[in-house]
Amino acid sequence: MERNSARAELKRQNTIKRIVLACSVVIVVVLAGIGTTKLTHHFDNGSAQVSQTVKTNKKKQQTNELSLVMVGDNLIHMPLISDAQEEDGSLNFDGLYAEMASYFQAADLSVIVQETILGGKSLGYSGYPLFNSPQEVGDAVANAGFDIVLSATNHALDKGEKGIVNTLEFWKKHPGVTVLGLNHSQEDYDAVKYIEKNGIKLAVLNYTDSTNGISPPKSKEYLVNKVNRDKIEKDLHTAEENADFTVVFMHWGTEYRFSADDGQKDLAHFMTERGADLIMGSHPHVVEPAEWIETENGGKALVFYSLGNYVSRQKEAANLVGAMGKVKICSNEERGTYIDSASVMPTVTHYNANSREFRVYPLKDYTDELAEKHGVAQYDGKVSVDRFKKVFDDVFGDCTAVTVEN
């Protein structure tokens, strides 16, 4: 699955440099820990012992591994806010992530799309079409174990500049969470963000193809990362020079369409040609397939076109089926940094007839007993595990790019 190109060779060389540096550190630490007396006493065997120690560590360093999971839109409709209200008036959204948290916490990096702005109580909570969500949603996202929050969405400007400022200020409470897609300044907008984990350095990029016709204030276009091919090309060039592997998170496509549109495919090829290794998408509110893209210049990338909704109170069964994409990224001297394996697991959002008790389940853990109580029946007819599974299988049933985890 590795790329045979000049860019791939550059990444391979960067990987080798990191591995050599890591091994050098191991050698220094090993030698520093050996006393003079011991070294003299065991010199013949000791040299072999030191060499063996270094060799063992080299084996451990030989292939670095990083697991990444991503889910789709965290779409906070007003009923979800009502459902989160405690007896004392406080808000607690932890239940939205409770059934899935073990997956998020087990991964090295977990990613979610924060579809709605977290402008907080001062801006007034609101749902469709101009969303503003409680900041307690963000607390629950952090508690669930997410490492990366994607905020470049079509609803990013629903509450104007103030909504973005409030959102970014809120996330300062959670310094362990990397927020992408919104920016305090032109300097932030121009910068590429990196995450280094398990000896692998990732460049992480996030763009939206729309803000629903809402424009940022003049001279503050930097607030949201909108699709701009000049910027994307520049960011990818910077990422190629500085990272082992580049992930692009896209908010794109046509709502309620179960396959990628021409715009998604064209942009995916554009980004792959310029160095994207993995592209993961959201926005259509339904799942779309995954595929490998190979370009004439040697580029190769895995694309998840849409992972659908993570949670919502939408009223059609198809909108309640989401997906968790999982990718294992490996790095070694021989192959550089590459995708070792990829899979996708279906999820389902549940709520009752009163639009309460919102939960997201792995579809494999969902039951027909729960389905009989699903509130969507009053809008879209009776649902069952098989009906939800069919929505997913119709999209991923013939997919060969990733393994389907049922």
Strand 245-251, strand 278-282: pairing? parallel
Give residue 406's pLDDT: 76
Instruction: State both tokens at 391.
Output: 């929505």
Q: Is the pLDDT of residue 47 over 70?
A: no
Between 36-50, 145-159, 230-244, the lowest mean confidence (pLDDT) is in: 36-50
pLDDT tens string 48-71: 223 233 333 444 558 999 999 999
Q: Which residues on neighbouring strands pair with residue 65, listed in sequence order?
A: 330
**Domain limits of the chain?**
6-62, 65-404
Residues 289-320 pLDDT 10s: 999 999 999 999 999 999 999 999 999 999 99
Per-residue pLDDT tens digits for 121-165: 999 999 999 999 999 999 999 999 999 999 999 999 999 999 999
Separation of alpha carbons 23 and 27, rounded Å: 6
Q: Which residues, 6+ apart, have CB-to-CB distance to 358 below 8 Å? A: 79, 80, 83, 95, 96, 311, 313, 349, 350, 351
Token pair in block for residue 110: 């977990």
CA distances from 68 to 115, 121, 158, 159, 392 (A): 20, 33, 30, 31, 21
Predicted model pTM: 0.87
Q: How confident is the model at residue 14 (pLDDT cuts 50, 70, 90)?
A: low
Q: Where are the alpha helices (DSSP H) in 98-253?
A: 101-106, 136-144, 160-171, 186-190, 229-242
Checking if the pLDDT of 120 tops 90, the result is yes
Q: Is residue 152 a contact partner of residue 251, using CB atoms and an 8 Å limit? A: yes
- Higher-scoring residue by pLDDT: 21, 12: 12
State residue 352's pLDDT score.
98
Q: Which CATH class is domain 65-404?
A: alpha beta
CB 68 within 8 A of CB 108: yes
